[in-house]
């Protein structure tokens, strides 16, 4: 990956200048060509390009030194000159693009000589700028020796990465705190995998400073007693991943008195002798190698040693990519998480007060815990802060330390490992990371948005090739090395957004402090604003306005939520983000921003874009998300010839003539509208489209041939496709024909078909072929949604799709039976060992109004057939005529929902195989008489049974649900008893048994056993009961915090047992119609914060003891007419 990133560096400034638009050459578009030849424009441009690249190399060296050599601040002057050179070339390219647009538009206007687009005047001005910039860059190159700089080639960019052995700080026992469970888990992972593999490899992966080496040494020492392994060996690797050196280090560790052997064959022979018949553990600490061949060569040496059975290798690394290369199989790695704030503070306080240190007072502890939060759970940072706090002990000193950035002196040495990992990143990746500091801490950054911003700033090369591919590689690099943390993922598990760790943000802010200006986090000590290139601030402050007027010319990125004044000169601006700004219009002068590549006016009340926006020929990204007031876009949007990404939310904002955007990669949807000339064939040439594409109003496509002109099968970058017809229409004549022409590329992973009116699905989806699914046109399909296809009479055969993970079938009203054709082709030879739906994790059937029967292949009884082997979620909702559900042998099932199935009378008798089930929900199934036994459901955490009117008893085997935390029983009108097994549910946190009017038995001694119970909701029960059942032992529940109790007419008072629940914080009393007054003991509930009284019709008085409820915050009385009447009279406690 690094090679791909580095290959873009030489193009960072001006690679496209000479040949981006040839043939014909850019210069040929200017008239007369003899003038450009006479001026030597081409040669001067090439000279400027080469000089800029050499200066970039000098900047590379300066960037590597700038944290330690303050005398090299003149790098900012170098950058200024490089940026000036880029602007000159960019203006040249802009002029060429303008001429390209005009030629295409066949504009024949007579130009005045002094017109800004006059080619003769432009070439003369360009010649002057080229000569001036070349002289400036030549001078800087000649002065390089004065800086002590060398001019490096790009091939040396990664050769000078620091090589430092990691420090586990193992001599500091306070660092072990919080890692005991991690040690246990790694040992379990190690022993279980070593019993199954000839040579198991367990990577411990995590960000720098998180304690990977410390954890590895803890595990190393724990297994060093010979019980698990005959030999335990440790090798520190770092940058030097050489099989010769690693094997030599292993041999030296084995043969303690033997000198180093150089011959590889002799080395292997001696290793064979030393390890023959032995089971060993080898720790390779701090591995950075991402070359699979190197690792494969080393692994083969170890695999060649006899007697290796059960041996293991632990690898510590900060790179997920390294872990994926070396781990034995997916899931074998151990990802080390940050410590909690309490654990971090424990390390700090031990370092401060241990070994005779000063005790920490409560005032100091409050400050210390705030400092602990700055450590982000890194034990290395906690120890370093603790040492420093021991030396500068005191409230004033600690307060000062709390307010420092992590990279301010003297704190900056604390996180040196993170800086070392940063230095190892390729230059392009470093630039991308540092740019992220323009966002405030904690900002959720969209992946696509970040890549578009990096692209706008030129970090990813130029428009020749796929800049987005390089951007994706950079993003993956930062995620894999923990500089960015993934925050959200889409339906295909692709990362949608991320955040930057606060400590990493401090590093990036420190590195960019001379070039980035922010309102919220302005970096201290930066007085010189002359080199600010990137700004994220409000424009309404006096200082900001003065800055924009005087320094705005140099800005390349501006993020603001305020008004941008027409007179401000943003001559060099590449990025303008006004996301969320309170602006109603954009100034027409925005069309003068020749260099602008990224424009974002999302979430603004803007009503119209100025026509001049179509003059932004360099614009690559236009973001107009959730602009509710925005009308149609300008008519000549097609002039944005470099546009690659359009982000809009509403259909009427789709630009006209999208087929003209030859570089377009992001188009969220296409709306077919014959009246506006928006035909599906506009998509024909847009083969660079990627990501998600939805096509709406497909009923307006005439036939299969017209649909085929969209050329979807050639759009290999699209991974998510949606076909949507309008829901309200009368004619469905051409749906079957049109969908046949919409065959997507075989790379498609997610497909949604909505409101389709055909009677059968297209052949490319219905296709039934024998084998494993490889011959399916959509063999890579992961997610399939069939929504409201109300006239379709049969389901497609999907059981052989090997990668299908999510299947949603909703609103298919014509389907009456799910038969064997759903699983496989009935005509093929029976292969019972072939799994059906082998990868499916989620299956949802909803709103199938006429579905009566669901058949499944015969399982058990000697059959080898496997169905849904990895199904985790099954949801069956609103299928009112479905009478049975064939579910069994689903050992991976974690969630089962069955709701609103009015005719359902039978569930499979076989729940015992649901050993992974965590959530079981059965609601509004009025004809269901019994639920299978819950025996063996030890993983069950949530059980909800509601509105099952014929259910007379809860399922048996409840005592087996030892992990159950939430139990909810509602509106089961025939339920007569709660089983005695309730007392066995020791993990229960929330119990609700309500609105069961036939219930007359609740085991009296059961609640006292539920020692973790926090929330209890009970009643009303049978009207025949004169006392509230089941509460005799409730006084023993010291954990109980919330009680909601509902009574009935025969109950004249609250259960007295409630007065002993001294931990109670919330009490809600409902429908005690026979009760006239609340008891005086209510005042003994000293912890009560909230009291609610609902619909107690005869309640007249409140107890005077309520005045003793000093912690009470809220009293809620609803529909208690007598109490209200007494309160109106103004007497008593009411």
665 within some domain = no
CA distances (Å), origin 703, targets 680, 698, 708, 724, 740: 11, 10, 9, 15, 9
Handedness of CA 757, 758, 762, 765 (dihedral sign): positive
Q: What tens digit of pLDDT does each residue of 1069-1106 get?
A: 999 999 999 999 998 898 899 999 999 999 988 888 88
Residue 717 pLDDT: 93
Question: How far is the C-alpha of 769 from the C-alpha of 697, rounded, in Å?
Answer: 32
Q: How far is CA 1089 from the centre of its chain?
A: 38
Q: Which domain holds residue 370?
A: 341-416
292 within some domain = yes
Copy the structure tokens of residue 205: 């992966």
The reply to whether 140 and 12 lie within a common domain is yes
Question: How far is the C-alpha of 437 from the C-alpha of 427, rounded, in Å?
Answer: 16
Q: What tens digit of pLDDT does each residue of 53-69 get?
A: 665 555 555 555 544 44
Copy the structure tokens of residue 250: 């292993």
Residue 21 pLDDT: 35
Lowest-pLDDT range of 426-435, 763-772, 980-989, 1001-1010: 763-772
What mean pLDDT is predicted for residues 1024-1044?
90
93 within some domain = yes
| Helices assigned H by DSSP within 535-601 | 542-551
Per-residue pLDDT band for 267 (boundaries 50, 70, 90) equals confident
Question: How far is the C-alpha of 319 from the C-alpha of 768, rounded, in Å?
Answer: 43
Residue 483 pLDDT: 86
List strands edge to edge, sheet with 598-600. 516-518, 534-536, 557-559, 575-577, 598-600, 621-624, 645-648
Q: What tens digit of pLDDT does each residue of 547-581 get?
A: 676 667 788 999 988 766 665 678 889 999 999 98
What mean pLDDT is predicted for residues 185-206?
79
Q: Are the beta carbons of 684 and 709 closer than 8 angstroms?
A: yes
Residue 1109 belongs to domain with CATH number: 3.80.10.10
Taking each helix axis as running N to C, give the angle between helix 427-435 and helix 447-456, from 0 to 180 degrees, rounded to the nearest 10: 110
Residue 191 belongs to domain with CATH number: 3.40.50.300
DSSP structural state of residue 47: H
Residue 360 belongs to domain with CATH number: 1.10.8
Question: How far is the C-alpha of 473 from the C-alpha of 496, rounded, in Å?
Answer: 15
What mean pLDDT is predicted for residues 972-979?
94
The reply to whether 479 and 386 lie within a common domain is no
What mean pLDDT is predicted for residues 980-995?
94
Residue 550 pLDDT: 65
Q: Are the beta carbons of 920 and 942 closer than 8 angstroms?
A: yes
Residue 259 pLDDT: 58
Please tell me which of 339-348, 390-399, 734-743, 850-859 the model is most confident about, judged by mean pLDDT. Answer: 734-743
What mean pLDDT is predicted for residues 845-854?
94
Residue 477 belongs to domain with CATH number: 1.10.10.10
The reply to whether 354 and 440 lie within a common domain is no
Per-residue pLDDT band for 154 (boundaries 50, 70, 90) equals very low
1076 within some domain = yes
Task: Say if pTM beats, i.e. exceeds, 0.85.
Answer: no
Residue 231 pLDDT: 84
Lowest-pLDDT range of 170-184, 231-245, 387-401, 1054-1068: 170-184
DSSP structural state of residue 412: G
- In the chain, the N- to C-terminal Cα span, in Å, equals 74
| Long-range contacts of 931-940, Cβ-Cβ distance < 8 Å, separation of 24 or more | 931/907, 931/955, 932/907, 932/908, 933/957, 934/958, 934/960, 934/961, 935/911, 935/960, 936/911, 936/912, 936/960, 937/911, 937/961, 938/962, 938/963, 939/894, 939/915, 939/963, 940/964
Q: What tens digit of pLDDT does each residue of 1038-1049 get?
A: 899 999 999 999
Domain boundary among 121, 156, 191: 156
φ/ψ region of 532 (left if φ > 0, alpha if ψ in -120 to 50, else beta) reads beta
The reply to whether 77 and 222 lie within a common domain is no
Q: What tens digit of pLDDT does each residue of 15-48 get?
A: 433 333 333 344 455 445 555 555 565 666 666 5
The reply to whether 180 and 91 lie within a common domain is no
The reply to whether 273 and 184 lie within a common domain is yes
Strands (DSSP E) found in 255-410? 280-287, 311-317, 334-335
The reply to whether 217 and 85 lie within a common domain is no
What mean pLDDT is predicted for residues 146-160?
39
Q: Are the beta carbons of 605 and 584 closer than 8 angstroms?
A: yes
Instruction: Indicate the number of domains in the chain.
Output: 5
The reply to whether 437 and 409 lie within a common domain is no
The reply to whether 37 and 63 lie within a common domain is yes
Residue 75, pLDDT > 70, answer no
Residue 265 pLDDT: 80
Residue 414 pLDDT: 59
DSSP structural state of residue 592: G
Copy the structure tokens of residue 767: 């296709």
Of all residues in the chain, the percent with pLDDT exceeding 70 is 78
Residue 667 pLDDT: 96
Residue 1013, pLDDT > 80, answer yes
Residue 83 pLDDT: 76
Question: How far is the C-alpha of 747 from the C-alpha of 781, rounded, in Å?
Answer: 8
Answer with the residue of higher pLDDT: 861 or 675. 675
Lowest-pLDDT range of 282-286, 958-962, 1038-1042: 282-286
Residue 461 pLDDT: 76
315 within some domain = yes
The reply to whether 352 and 322 lie within a common domain is no
Residue linked to tokens 């920490």: 360
Q: What tens digit of pLDDT does each residue of 100-144 get?
A: 777 777 644 444 444 445 566 665 665 666 666 666 666 666 655
Length of the chain: 1134
Q: Is residue 961 helix, strand or coil?
A: coil
Residue 160 pLDDT: 35
| Average predicted confidence (pLDDT) for the chain | 81
The reply to whether 151 and 300 lie within a common domain is no
CA distances (Å), origin 379, targets 17, 166, 213, 344, 585: 50, 14, 11, 7, 51
Answer with the residue of higher pLDDT: 300 or 849. 849
Residue 46 pLDDT: 64
Which residues on adjacent β-strands are paired with residue 621? Answer: 598, 645
Q: Are the beta carbons of 543 and 519 closer than 8 angstroms?
A: no
- CA angle 31/34/36 to nearest 5° reads 75
Residue 908 pLDDT: 75
- CA angle 240/246/247 to nearest 5° reads 155
Answer with the residue of higher pLDDT: 355 or 957. 957
Question: How far is the C-alpha of 668 from the C-alpha of 651, rounded, in Å?
Answer: 10
Residue 195 pLDDT: 62
Of all residues in the chain, the percent with pLDDT exceeding 90 is 37
What mean pLDDT is predicted for residues 978-992?
94
1102 within some domain = yes
What mean pLDDT is predicted for residues 801-809?
95
Which are the contacts of 221, defined by CB distance < 8 A and separation ≥ 6? none
Residue linked to tokens 């990519």: 321
The reply to whether 378 and 439 lie within a common domain is no
Give the per-residue SS3 of 619-667: CCEEEECCCCCCCCCCCCHHHCCCCCEEEECCHHHCCCCHHHCCCCCEC
DSSP codes of every residue in 79-91: HHHHHHHHHHHHH
Residue 927 pLDDT: 93
Domain boundary among 95, 125, 156: 156
880 within some domain = no
858 within some domain = no
Residue 569 pLDDT: 74
Q: What tens digit of pLDDT does each residue of 428-461 get?
A: 899 999 999 999 888 889 999 999 999 999 888 7
Residue 378 pLDDT: 81
Q: What tens digit of pLDDT does each residue of 634-654 get?
A: 989 999 999 999 999 999 999
DSSP structural state of residue 744: P
Residue 810 pLDDT: 97
Answer with the residue of higher pLDDT: 526 or 855. 855
Domain boundary among 396, 416, 436: 416
Residue 293 pLDDT: 86
Per-residue pLDDT band for 369 (boundaries 50, 70, 90) equals confident
Q: What tens digit of pLDDT does each residue of 670-690 get?
A: 999 988 889 999 999 999 999
Per-residue pLDDT band for 605 (boundaries 50, 70, 90) equals very high
Instruction: Supply the Cα-derived Rg of the chain in whole angstroms.
Output: 35
Per-residue pLDDT band for 582 (boundaries 50, 70, 90) equals confident
Closest CA to 303 of 225, 230, 247, 359: 247
Per-residue pLDDT band for 3 (boundaries 50, 70, 90) equals very low
Per-residue pLDDT band for 12 (boundaries 50, 70, 90) equals very low
């Amino acid at each position: 990956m690094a090679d791909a990133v580095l290959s873009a560096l030489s193009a960072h400034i001006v690679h496209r200048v000479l040949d981006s638009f040839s043939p014909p050459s850019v210069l040929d578009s200017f008239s007369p060509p003899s003038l450009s030849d006479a001026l030597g424009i081409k040669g001067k441009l090439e000279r400027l390009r080469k000089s800029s690249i050499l200066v970039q190399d000098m900047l590379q060296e300066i960037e590597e030194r700038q944290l330690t050599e303050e005398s090299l601040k003149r790098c900012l002057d170098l950058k200024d000159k490089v940026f000036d050179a880029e602007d000159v070339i960019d203006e040249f390219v802009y002029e060429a693009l303008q001429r390209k647009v005009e030629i295409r538009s066949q504009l024949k206007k007579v130009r005045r000589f002094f017109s800004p687009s006059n080619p003769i005047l432009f070439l003369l001005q360009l010649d002057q700028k080229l000569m001036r910039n070349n002289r400036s860059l030549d001078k800087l190159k000649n002065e390089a020796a004065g800086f002590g700089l060398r001019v490096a080639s790009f091939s040396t960019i990664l050769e000078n990465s620091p090589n430092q052995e990691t420090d586990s700080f193992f001599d500091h026992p306070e660092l072990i705190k919080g890692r005991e469970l991690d040690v246990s888990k790694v040992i379990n992972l190690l022993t279980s995998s070593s019993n199954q593999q000839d040579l198991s490899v367990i990577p411990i992966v995590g960000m720098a400073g998180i304690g990977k080496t410390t954890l590895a040494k803890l595990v190393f020492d724990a297994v060093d007693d010979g019980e698990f392994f005959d030999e335990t060996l440790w090798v520190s690797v770092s940058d030097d991943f050489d099989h010769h050196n690693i094997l030599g280090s292993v041999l030296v560790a084995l043969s303690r008195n033997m000198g180093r052997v150089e011959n590889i064959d002799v080395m292997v022979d001696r290793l064979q002798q030393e390890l023959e018949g032995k089971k060993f553990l080898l720790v390779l600490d701090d591995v950075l190698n991402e070359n699979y061949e190197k690792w494969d060569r080393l692994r083969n040496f170890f695999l060649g040693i006899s007697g290796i059975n059960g041996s293991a290798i632990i690898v510590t690394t900060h790179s997920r990519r390294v872990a994926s290369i070396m781990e034995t199989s997916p899931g074998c790695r151990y990802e080390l998480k940050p410590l909690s704030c309490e654990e971090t503070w424990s390390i700090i306080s031990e370092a401060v007060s241990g070994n005779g240190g000063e005790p920490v007072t409560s005032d100091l502890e409050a400050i210390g815990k705030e400092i602990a939060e700055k450590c982000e759970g890194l034990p290395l940072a906690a120890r370093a802060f603790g040492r420093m706090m021991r030396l500068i002990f005191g409230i004033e000193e600690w307060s000062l330390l709390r307010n420092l950035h992590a990279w301010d002196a003297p704190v900056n040495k604390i996180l040196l490992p993170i800086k070392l990992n940063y230095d190892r990143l390729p230059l392009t990746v470093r630039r991308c990371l540092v740019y992220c500091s323009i966002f405030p801490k904690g900002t959720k950054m969209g992946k696509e948005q970040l890549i578009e911003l990096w692209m706008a700033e030129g970090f990813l090369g130029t428009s020749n090739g796929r800049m987005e591919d390089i951007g994706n590689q950079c993003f993956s690099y930062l995620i894999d090395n923990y500089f960015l943390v993934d925050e959200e993922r889409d339906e295909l598990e692709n990362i949608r957004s991320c955040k930057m760790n606060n400590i990493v943000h401090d590093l990036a802010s420190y590195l960019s402090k001379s070039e980035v200006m922010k309102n919220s986090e302005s970096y201290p000590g930066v007085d010189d604003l002359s080199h600010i290139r990137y700004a994220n601030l409000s424009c309404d402050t006096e200082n900001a306005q003065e800055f924009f007027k005087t320094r705005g010319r140099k800005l390349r990125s501006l993020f603001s939520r305020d008004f941008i004044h027409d007179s401000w000169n943003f001559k060099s601006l590449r990025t303008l983000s006004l996301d969320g700004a309170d602006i109603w219009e954009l100034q027409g002068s925005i069309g003068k921003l020749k260099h602008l590549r990224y424009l974002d006016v999302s979430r603004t009340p803007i009503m119209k874009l100025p026509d001049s926006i179509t003059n932004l020929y360099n614009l690559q990204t236009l973001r107009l998300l959730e602009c509710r007031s925005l009308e149609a876009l300008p008519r000549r949007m097609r002039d944005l010839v470099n546009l690659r990404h359009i982000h809009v939310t509403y259909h009427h904002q789709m630009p006209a003539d999208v087929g003209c955007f030859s570089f377009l990669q992001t188009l969220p949807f296409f709306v077919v509208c014959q009246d506006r000339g928006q035909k599906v064939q506009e998509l024909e040439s847009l083969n660079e489209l990627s990501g998600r594409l939805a096509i709406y109003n497909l009923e307006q496509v005439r036939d299969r041939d017209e649909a085929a002109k969209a050329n979807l099968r050639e759009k290999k970058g699209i991974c998510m496709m949606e076909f949507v017809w309008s829901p309200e229409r009368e004619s469905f004549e051409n749906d079957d024909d049109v969908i046949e022409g919409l065959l997507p590329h075989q790379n498609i992973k997610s497909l949604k078909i909505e409101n389709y009116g055909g009677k059968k699905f297209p052949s490319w989806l219905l296709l039934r072929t024998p084998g494993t699914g490889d011959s399916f046109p959509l063999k890579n399909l992961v997610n399939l949604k069939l929504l409201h296809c109300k006239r379709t009479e049969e389901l497609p055969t999907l059981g052989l799709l090997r990668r299908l993970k999510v299947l949603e079938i909703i609103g298919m009203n014509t389907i009456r039976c799910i038969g064997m054709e759903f699983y496989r082709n009935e005509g093929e030879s029976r292969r019972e060992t072939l799994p059906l739906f082998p990868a499916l994790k989620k299956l949802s059937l909803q709103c199938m109004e006429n579905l009566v029967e669901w058949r499944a292949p015969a399982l058990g009884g000697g059959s080898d057939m496997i169905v849904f082997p990895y199904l985790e979620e099954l949801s069956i909702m609103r299928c009112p005529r479905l009478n049975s559900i064939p579910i069994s042998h689903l050992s991976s099932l974690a969630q089962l929902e069955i709701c609103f199935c009015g005719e359902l009378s039978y569930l499979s008798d076989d729940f015992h195989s649901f050993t992974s089930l965590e959530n079981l929900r059965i609601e509004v199934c009025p004809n269901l008489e019994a639920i299978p036994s819950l025996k063996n459901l030890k993983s069950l955490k949530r059980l909800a049974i509601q509105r099952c009117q014929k259910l007379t008893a809860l399922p048996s085997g409840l005592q087996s649900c030892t992990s159950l935390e939430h139990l909810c029983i509602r509106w089961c009108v025939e339920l007569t008893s709660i089983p005695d097994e309730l007392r066995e549910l020791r993990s229960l946190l929330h119990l609700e048994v309500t609105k069961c009017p036939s219930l007359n038995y609740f085991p009296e001694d059961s609640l006292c056993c539920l020692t973790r119970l926090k929330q209890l909701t009970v009643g009303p029960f049978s009207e025949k009961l004169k006392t509230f059942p089941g509460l005799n032992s409730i006084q023993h529940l010291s954990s109980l915090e919330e009680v909601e109790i509902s009574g009935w007419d025969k109950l004249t008072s609250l259960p007295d047992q409630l007065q002993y629940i001294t931990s109670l914080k919330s009490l809600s009393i409902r429908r005690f119609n026979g009760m006239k007054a609340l008891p005086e003991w209510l005042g003994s509930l000293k912890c009560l914060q909230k009291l609610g009284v609902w619909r107690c019709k005869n309640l007249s008085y409140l107890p005077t003891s309520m005045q003793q409820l000093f912690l009470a915050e809220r009293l809620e009385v609803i529909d208690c007419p007598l109490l209200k009447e007494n309160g109106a009279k103004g007497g008593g406690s009411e």
